[in-house]
Amino acid sequence: MTKPGLQSENRDTAPAPWTEFRPTALLVLADGTMIEGTGIGATGEGRGEICFNTAMTGYQEILTDPSYFGQIITFTFPHIGNVGVNEEDIETVNMARTAATGIVLATDITDPSNYRSTHDLDSWLKTRNIVGIAGIDTRALTALIRDKGMQNAIVAHDPDGFFDRKTLLAAAKTLPSMAGLDLVPAVTGSQRYDWTETSWTWNEGYGEQKAPEFHVVALDYGVKRNILRLLAERGCKVTVLPPDAPAADVLALKPDGVFLANGPGDPAATGLYAVPNIRAILDARIPTFGICLGHQMLALAIGARTMKMAQGHHGANHPVKEHATGKVEIVSMNHGFAVDPKTLPDNAEETHISLFDGSNCGLRLKDRPAFSVQQHPEASPGPQDSHYLFDRFVDMMRAARR
């Protein structure tokens, strides 16, 4: 009897008709590991770097986070699908754009039970062309990623269960490494737009900022909707510009502050065109705040370096300590690269660290009004321990006005 699990065999023939388990999905890792399971979502293939996410809530926000572009997400929490999906909890600004390329689950998708649900997860995955596999040992897969690091993989879904394993393995081995890839253009647009939508409130939905106190220009490397909402919530009119917008275009808008957004890919690759513009903004001494990739962009702009992580940080339960206060925050994380704190120049100081591995999670400049964090303080999904960072940015803009 054939059962789903971790396998390294390379059978090219379809399962015999008398086997009890007939896989309709196959996960093929570049190291030769093959995992059989049940297909979910779209049919076909999803290709990218495989990672694991430990969040217990917010699977829709995770799947639509532009920072996950080019990645296959393994969810360690087993009950995925239990609240269904809706059109309000999508995080990518472009509602039609897909972020994650694949999804891996331990069990079949749970039936939805939530008053806000408008669709079940499986049909939603199909409409967004996300290929998935369920019914596998995600603990074993997570341990493999932990020990061997994130590697390229292909998740294939065929209702008839026919897979050309040799071809899939060869393709997985030839996928480009995330290191060196600039994926920002794949998740951003080329048009400027204004953002006024504020946070969601119970039984009222989203609001609108009609009397802003500040004007913030956001450089879009793959910005999440809830980041923009929290800025608007705090009295900001937000103008979003493309990732390669020249510094002259930013300065012409006379902003009170500049926001450097999150996004996917290798920060060093994106920095080739983003860093010169950020340096000009810093030289103009405009209050600047960066999150995730934006944090890495700020670090590169001041001469620091970034590095590829083995497993990365993906989840909503990560402990981060702020040096100044000693406060420990539980935060949401999603990044596969990190700032090397040893390369920070003298005019910068580390403000936050991960209590999981001691990696850098924040910095501030001593001679300019600028700071950034690696975590996702907008908490979509995740705890709201770091919401104060948006208040800190507003206070910085208010002080600059005075």
Using DSSP bridges, classify how beta strands 6-7 and 306-322 pair: parallel, antiparallel or unpaired: unpaired
Residue 222 CA to residue 296 CA, distance in Å, equals 14
Which pLDDT score, from 0 to 100, does residue 97 have?
A: 72
Residue 118 lies in a domain: yes
Structural domain for 113, as ranges: 6-174
Which pLDDT score, from 0 to 100, does residue 22 have?
A: 87
Long-range CB pairs of 22-25, under 8 A, 24+ apart, other chains included? 22/161, 23/161, 23/163, 24/157, 24/158, 24/159, 24/160, 24/161, 25/131, 25/132, 25/133, 25/134, 25/155, 25/156, 25/157, 25/158
Same structural domain, 152 and 227: no
CB 34 within 8 A of CB 8: yes
Which pLDDT score, from 0 to 100, does residue 20 have?
A: 65
For residue 18, what is the domain's CATH number?
3.50.30.20
CB 195 within 8 A of CB 228: yes
CB 184 within 8 A of CB 221: yes
Residue 149 lies in a domain: yes
Give me the sign of the Cα torsion angle 93, 155, 53, 134. positive
Which pLDDT score, from 0 to 100, does residue 257 have?
A: 98
SS3 of residue 107 by DSSP:
coil
Same structural domain, 168 and 279: no
Residue segments in the chain with a per-residue pLDDT below the cut of 70:
1-20, 95-96
Domain boundary residue, one of 125, 153, 174 = 174
Same structural domain, 156 and 270: no
The residues carrying an active-site annotation are: 292, 376, 378
Q: How many domains does the chain have?
A: 2
Which pLDDT score, from 0 to 100, does residue 96 have?
A: 67
Residue 179 lies in a domain: no
Same structural domain, 109 and 29: yes
Residue 1 lies in a domain: no
Same structural domain, 192 and 330: yes
CB 207 within 8 A of CB 184: no
Residue 41 lies in a domain: yes
For residue 280, what is the domain's CATH number?
3.40.50.880
Which pLDDT score, from 0 to 100, does residue 202 have?
A: 87
Which pLDDT score, from 0 to 100, does residue 11 have?
A: 46
Same structural domain, 168 and 240: no
Which pLDDT score, from 0 to 100, does residue 95 have?
A: 67
Same structural domain, 217 and 324: yes
Residue 10 CA to residue 2 CA, distance in Å, equals 14
Same structural domain, 371 and 231: yes
Domain boundary residue, one of 131, 150, 174 = 174
Residue 348 lies in a domain: yes
Residue with tokens 């923009």: 228
Same structural domain, 220 and 154: no
Same structural domain, 121 and 231: no
Domain boundary residue, one of 174, 192, 226 = 174
